Amino acid sequence: MVTNNPWIWLAAFLTLACYTFPFGDNPVYRFVEHVFVGTSAGYMVTANWFNWIKPNLAEIGNGRYLLIVPFVIGILIYARYIKPIAWVSRIAIAFNLGVASGFILAKDIKPLFITQVIATFQPLDDINNILLVFGVITSLIYFLFTVEHKGAVGVAAQAGRWVMLIALGAAFGSTVMARVSLFLGRVQFLLSEWLFIVK
């Protein structure tokens, strides 16, 4: 019992072809690798076109002529392929990075710094709270680079390093689940949609 849907056969072939790689580089893998790179790059263009560029061009057609400016700025990025005028692509990069950096300066400080500091204002009447507060403090101290890690600072920094190692151990353990999940998803596909072995 296998599917007779040719599309599923195609997906199954591509899936299995990827799995030849861990056993050694080979032409079949290189083939699907290039299909992957090619279709992904093509997808970037089509998705942006349908969901964003096309409707905005329509807006210009409806009389929002100011939008021509960002269209021109955006297209300048491709000047980097034309040697004599390569520098004008900097305009596009400059605008893009300007807004992106402005956004970081505007949005990060409150939720990612101040709110996090406030959330650490825990009453020191409970062992877990004490561990949390001193865990944060010592790991911050570990990352002080203008102070030599000697004496009390050295002790605190060492404690901070240990706290971070535990956090990183948790990240390690969680990553195993993430990687296995990716593989499970493909096995589920092969066994249920292609081979009908499992429902």
Partner 1 sequence: MGLIRPGLVASFVLELAFAAAVLTLIGRARRGQPVPAIRRVVGLDAIDEAIGRATEMGAPVHFAPGIGAIDNAQTLAALSILSHVARMCAKYDTRLIQTNRNNVVYSIAEETIKQAYVDAGKPAGFNPDDVRFISEDQFGYASGCIGIMAREKVRANILVGAFWAESLIFAEVGAQVGSIQIAGTANTHQIPFFIAACDYALLGEEIYAASAYLSREPILVGCLIGQDWAKMIGVLLILAGAVLATFGNYDLGRLLNE
Partner 2 sequence: MPNVDRRIIYIVMIAAVVYAFVNPMGLPVTISDYTRTAHAAIEALPAGAVLVLGMDFSPGGIPELEPAAKAIFYQCMCNDVKVVMIGMWVMAGDMGERVLDEMAPLFPAKVYGVDFVNIGFKPGNGLLLERAADNIIEAAVDVDHRGLALSAMPLFEQFRSLREAAFWVCLSTGNPGVSDWIKVIGDPLGIPGTTDVVSVSIPENMPFVQSGQLTGIIQGMRGAAEYELLVDRPGRATAGMDAQSLAHVVILVFIVLGNVAYLTRKTRA
Partner 3 sequence: MRKVLPLGITFVSGIIVVLANFLAPAWFVAANREISLWFQIVAALFCALGVANLTRIHSKRLARHSEGWFFSIVLFVSMFGFMIIAFSVGQQDDLYRNLYNNTIVPLNATMYSVLVFYIASAAYRAFRVRTLEATILLITAAIVMLGKAPIGEAVFGSWVVDATNWILDIPNVAGMRGIQLGATLGGLAMALRVLVGIERTHFGGTGE
Helices (H), the chain: 6-18, 27-48, 54-61, 68-75, 89-107, 115-119, 127-142, 151-188
Q: Is 65 in the site for partner 3 (CB under 8 A)?
A: no
* Binding-site member from 5, 39, 101, 174 for partner 2 (CB under 8 A): 174
List the interface residues with partner 1, window 31-60 (CB under 8 A): 33, 36-37
Cα 5 to chain centroid distance, Å, stands at: 34
Question: Applying CB under 8 A, does 168 fall inside the site for partner 1?
Answer: yes
Q: How far apart are CA 196 and CA 199, in angstroms?
A: 7
> With contacts defined by CB under 8 A, how many residues of the chain interact with partner 2?
44
Q: From the list partner 3, partner 2, partner 1, none, pick the one residue 151 interacts with, judged by a Cβ distance below 5 to 8 Å according to partner type.
A: none
User: Is residue 183 close enough to count as binding partner 3 by CB under 8 A?
Assistant: yes
180 lies in the site for partner 2, by CB under 8 A: yes
Please provide the size of the chain in residues. Answer: 199
127 in contact with partner 2 (CB under 8 A): no
Helices 151-188/127-142 angle, 10° precision:
100
Judged by CB under 8 A, which of 5, 39, 56, 120 binds partner 1? 120
| Interface with partner 1, residue 69, by CB under 8 A | no
Residue 162 in the binding site for partner 1 (CB under 8 A): no
CA–CA distance, 109 with 103 (Å, rounded to integer): 11
